[in-house]
Chains A and B, each alone.
Chain A
Amino acid sequence: MIQVAFDIGGTFTDFVLRDPATGAVEIWKVPTTPREPARAVLEGLEARFRDTALRPAEISDALHATTIATNAILERKGARAALITTAGFRDVLLIGRQKRYDTNNLHIDKPKPLVRRADVFEAPERLAPDGTVLAPLDEAAADALAAQVAAGGYDSVAVVFLHAYANPVHERLMEAALRRHMPGTSISLSSVIAPKYREYERTSTTVANAYVAPLVQAYVDSLDRSLRALGVEAELSIMQSNGGMVSADLARTWPVRLVESGPAAGVLMCAEIGKEEGCTHVMTFDMGGTTAKLGAIDDGVPAVTPSFEVDAVNYRKGSGLPLSIMAIDLLEIGAGGGSIARTGMGLIRVGPDSAGAEPGPICYGRGGTEPTITDANLILGYLNPDFFNGGAMTLRRKAAALAIAREIGAPLGLDLAQAAWGIHSVANANMERAMRIVSIERGRDPRRYALVAFGGAGPLHACRLARALEIPRVIVPRGAGVGSAIGLLAADRKVDLGMTRVMRLDEASPAQIAPIFAELEARVTAEAGRMQPGTTPTIERSASMRYAGQGFEIRVPLPAGPIAGDYVATVLADFHAAYKREYGYNDPKAPVEVSDWFAVATLPNTRAGAGFRFPGGRTGGDPVTGTRLAWFPEAGGMVPTRIVDRYALTTAHRIAGPALVEERESTTVVPPGDVLSLSAAGNLIIDIRAGG
């Protein structure tokens, strides 16, 4: 049996095949087909079946990460959706939370809602905060409204009623009426998609679901159908934002949960690489063309967050559309290879503006005119102009040098190398601040972590970042260029659910908590059962908790097992400890309350197999293929630096920095004092300051 994983990126669609029995891995890429993303997948597989001995029937798992939901939102290319809400509250989506993401800008605009005002309808109904019906939604009214909405010819409908997190009755009534009038139309209920209080955030999430649902559903169907047509019988599985794989069927049910599908897969890859190298505490660092994404893995488990924003302006908090769904916690900042450097007031600023992939950095020669991080890395000697992207592209050093000298060097009185170093180090400092937030500020001691770096630009900056945070070890995984696809092979099948039930813990008894988890666990077990009937999933519990009266919570894992005896006391003690870790103080005498309860069901991973064995490059021989000048201030500036061919490294080699390790997808910069080696699993290991 063979597993296949595929990840559709902006430029390439990456494939990984693995034999779970031997761990043998094969990797290939085909150009992405942006208008019809499923086509590249089929062409890539078809060619494989045609050109090799692989047969469709041998495929046991088809695993997929997709950016289709994200792109539909970012490009505003989703469905024509309607929103039905409580009478009097038509404008909740338009109003939002109203704070400007930049205090000092009054020419600012809010994010454009996914449903325009003309497409919002009001239903005569009302619930109280505890779910009591104050004004019943009668069937005739629901029916009339459904007829009106049906006449609008919408592709998708979101239903969000006030306090529906406490009682879904009216949303279900409305759904039934819509089904009568609009059979086959996608309907998203807030009580299903995001049953949490705060009406704007819940509406935003439910509307986003409605907005992407038809597209995601059509895409999943077409992919599923095409795989069958090719003769692949394995069920398609898709990565959700929470880092769990779900069946195509569940992906269709919860489309908004696919928004962070791709990045989640990348973090899971890091978790898997960490496991291979015996590191269960990992900071993840994914730096691509436009942004850097930073995350953390504790005890082998990626950190997750119960909400995040999509389509933020310059990655500024509060500028995007909030989504109340569980997602792998990533801090994204505007620092990628294409981030533009400028000066002002005698300072260097890098990002968040980016030259992106088009026109891209100046050195790409595609019309870029402003210096970028990649241009600086070229000038510093870190990038090989003749071996960029495996030699597929030649970089133009002279144009990059002229621009850096002109835009950065001249205004600040720096020579070319100093100016390039300035760009590189300011970018590092931006990422260092973000990494500090993810680590120290959230109670993680970087000295206990390893840094897994991937993405085209990650390995260029990783060792400096590790040094700044005193992270002792950097790992650059084999196959870093297809990281997300690797992550899919490692991922568990997982379903999570949360619900709002505000409860004072000092007044609570186990008998009040038990039914909540009984319901949540029954639901996640049932959902998991849809993917793998007859298997009992592992259940993990957690709760969002706060001191009574606070408005924001921290999420605390709750013990498994029977909810009885001193269960409440244990939960309380865990909360006080977690609060202290987060904020430095706690208040053990203050009453504590839970707002949201969560259960996650994980199915046993039948795909773990024998790890990963990558195809070998050439073995033996000297991995040092030559030298070039590269900038290392601690070595005195531009110094001859050894170039290492990653594909020639063996576990016997230990190479002290400064060195540059070249591979097709990236270059790893090893500064003086750090020591490079290759692990048995084939990952690059850089021990920071190990060289004295």
Chain B
Amino acid sequence: MAVDPITLTVVWNSFVSIADEMGEALRRTAFSEAVREGADFSTGLFDRRGRLIAQGNFTPGHLGAMPYAVKNCLDFIPPEELSPGDMLVTNDAYLGGGHFPDFFLVAPVFEGEALIGYVVNTAHHVDVGGAQPGSEAVQGVLDAFAEGIRILPVKIVRNGEFEPDLMRVLLGNVRLPEKVRGDLMAQRNANHVGTQRLRRLFADYGEALIEEAIEAILDRSEARAKELIRALPEGTYSFDDQMDDYGPGTPPIRVSVDVTLKDGTATVDFSRSSDAVPAGINSFINYTRAYASFGMRIFAGIDVPNNAGIERVIKLVTRPGSFFDPRYPAAGGGRASLQVRIFDAINGAMSQVVPDRAMGAFTHWANPKFGGVDPETGKRWILYDLILGGFGGRSNKDGAEALCPVFNCANVPVEVHETNNPVRIHTLSLIQDSSGPGRFRGGSGMRKDVEMLTEGATVVLLGDRHKSAPWGIFGGGAGEKARTVLIRGGQEADLGSKEVARLEKGDIVSFRLAGAGGYGDPSLRDRAALAEDLKDGFLSRAGIARHYGVTLD
């Protein structure tokens, strides 16, 4: 007998709300700015067979990697070795989320003796050791041995308590042990909340019904995704984009994609992209897949919450050992920079199929880490930042200003940074005339200036679009390129987008993000919209004349 539509609706909604509540518990109890302010985490529910059932409204990179991380954990420690109150952890780049800072915490859920499913969350930890603060340096990190501690799947929580021996090993290898410990506690809280709620759901509806509901959810999700992809014209659609480099003096990284739509399946092929690089930026397969899948979800208009059913219709092809599918010990700390470019490339390819869903390229973003030891207090500190610009122009409206692109995290307030770290922030503002022109213009670039109040700090840069501007689409123009500038004694010097630099007291690192690309012919832009842009200062009179060929009164 099939589960009735009412019950199925209720059970499905409950799965999603459990995942959301886990996220709330994690965020509210986390210690690092990345998690608690930046929301750099994700949550999910899996069935007894390890299949993804539901995820919360969090960052897609984690979400997309999670099913594989769970499977990999269970390959190391099979279900029959699990007991109530256990939790497994891994941070391996290949098995997990593509770099060591992402910790997956997997908790089996039992009803009595019976395993009924898993609750899982991932959080980005502020530091896991390695060459530079934040463990995400690109420049100078030739392999994974310079990226900090690597944890292959182990049981880190037994009977609800962290294994003290493992914790000692782990916390002895990271720069900010108290934050790592605190965030792990928060991850345990989240799984605790998820466990209680999932057990309650099983108690309310019974195992048989839930199992049936899960099958129905996965089958219907797959069918719906197939139906949506099938509605698009079959064919292969290609696009080429690039990343600046993998550190000063290195060549660009080629990001090339071929999307094939056939028989209700989307195949996303990155084989034409670059080889693996000897720097901390390679994109491991779980990460590549996560954003390939996210891109297809957006452009195919897949309106079903993510689960294993969707995973069946979006396929990834890579060249094993290449940049988008490297092997241990390739380094991947800074791979977060890739997600926007993976999305841009899929956007470019799919614009040939669904022009109304396409948009100009994003401004890209900066994800710098500052760190050091404050000589006045003797305390070690790491400032993890997310500097986020605008969206490209869209088919019926301008690109959103200052909104998180693909991965969907939040920024960290200036007042929080200044309270916790020896820095002063001098500006956080949109850059005039930086947006790509178009009938619908791109969002503006963002400027943020951060001054060091102590000696001996290091900045680990992770930005892009210094060398190739965010492109416009359907006649829209490119945005202004990005710059990262070191201001020392009033003199400005350009830094590479993935450089590691030593800083002196009084140095200011000035981030100037690129502008996003425009959509459509700039000459078609509404005069009234230009007048508003002028009034609000997004564009200057000179900028309007230059990009739009218009002189406003």
Chain A residues close to B by CB (< 8 Å): 88-92, 94-104, 106-110, 116-118, 128-129, 134, 162-163, 197-200, 343, 345-349, 412, 414, 421-422, 425-426, 429-430, 433, 437, 441, 502, 547, 549-552, 583-585, 587, 590
Contacts and interface: CB of A to CB of B under 8 A. Distances in A.
Given A106-B298, A551-B36, A583-B25, A99 B410 contact: yes
Given A92-B414, A200-B413, 11 more contacts: A88-B429, A94-B402, A97-B410, A99-B409, A129-B418, A198-B415, A348-B6, A441-B21, A551-B33, A584-B193, A590-B182
A89 B182 contact: no
Nearest to B2: A346
B182 A429 contact: no
A659 B224 CA distance: 42
Given A89-B428, A549-B179, A583 B10 contact: no
A91 B538 contact: no
Interface stretch (B54-62, B108-116, B128-136, B326-334): B54-62
Contacts of B277: none
Contacts of B182: 547, 549-550, 590
A550 B429 contact: no
A346 B7 CA distance: 11
B428 A88 contact: yes
B101 to A, nearest CB: 17
B391 A422 contact: no
Considering residues B5, B8, B31, B223, which has the most beta carbons from chain A within 10 angstroms of its beta carbon?
A: B5
A552 B415 contact: no
A384 B474 CA distance: 58
A120 B189 CA distance: 42
Interface of A is mostly: loop
Interface string B209-236: 0000000100011011000000000000
B124 interface: no
Contacts of B304: 345
Contact of A104 (B27, B189, B298, B537): B298
Given A95-B411, A433-B13, A587 B185 contact: yes
A414 B160 CA distance: 46
B12 interface: yes
A117 B538 contact: yes
Contact of A89 (B30, B188, B391, B414): B414
Interface residues of B, number: 77
5 contacts: A91-B402, A94-B401, A98-B409, A106-B298, A343-B5
Interface in B374-412: 388, 391, 394, 397, 400-404, 408-411
B196 A584 contact: yes
Contacts of B179: 549
A414 B400 CA distance: 43
B435 to A, nearest CB: 13
A425 B10 contact: yes
Contact of B400 (A108, A162, A199, A552): A108
Contacts of B505: none
**Interchain residue pairs A-B with the least CB separation, the first 4:** A551-B36, A88-B427, A117-B536, A99-B410
A551 B9 contact: no
A346 B402 contact: no
A128 B315 CA distance: 52
Contact of B415 (A100, A101, A129): A129
A96 B10 contact: no
Given A102-B57, A162-B414, A162-B415, A346 B189 contact: no
B400 A426 contact: no
A552 B28 contact: yes
A442 to B, nearest CB: 11
Considering residues A94, A102, A110, A343, which has the most beta carbons from chain B within 10 angstroms of its beta carbon?
A: A94
Contacts of A412: 5
B382 to A, nearest CB: 13
B297 interface: yes
B5 A197 contact: no
B205 to A, nearest CB: 11
B521 interface: no
Contacts of A108: 400, 403
A602 to B, nearest CB: 29
Considering residues A90, A95, A98, A441, which has the most beta carbons from chain B within 10 angstroms of its beta carbon?
A: A98
B467 interface: no
B78 to A, nearest CB: 27
Contacts of B298: 104, 106
Nearest to B406: A106
Contacts of B185: 585, 587
Contact of A110 (B8, B57, B178, B400): B400
B392 to A, nearest CB: 10
Nearest to A549: B31
Contacts of B12: 347
Contact of B192 (A103, A584, A587): A584
Contacts of A92: 414, 428
B31 A550 contact: yes
A342 to B, nearest CB: 11
Contacts of B57: 101-103
B6 A425 contact: yes
Contacts of A97: 410-411
A99 B429 contact: no
B158 interface: no
Nearest to A201: B413
Considering residues B196, B403, B415, B427, which has the most beta carbons from chain A within 10 angstroms of its beta carbon?
A: B415
Interface in B413-459: 413-416, 418-419, 424, 426-430, 446, 449
Interface string B62-82: 000000000000000000000
A433 B416 contact: no
A586 to B, nearest CB: 10
Contacts of B216: 346
Nearest to A590: B182
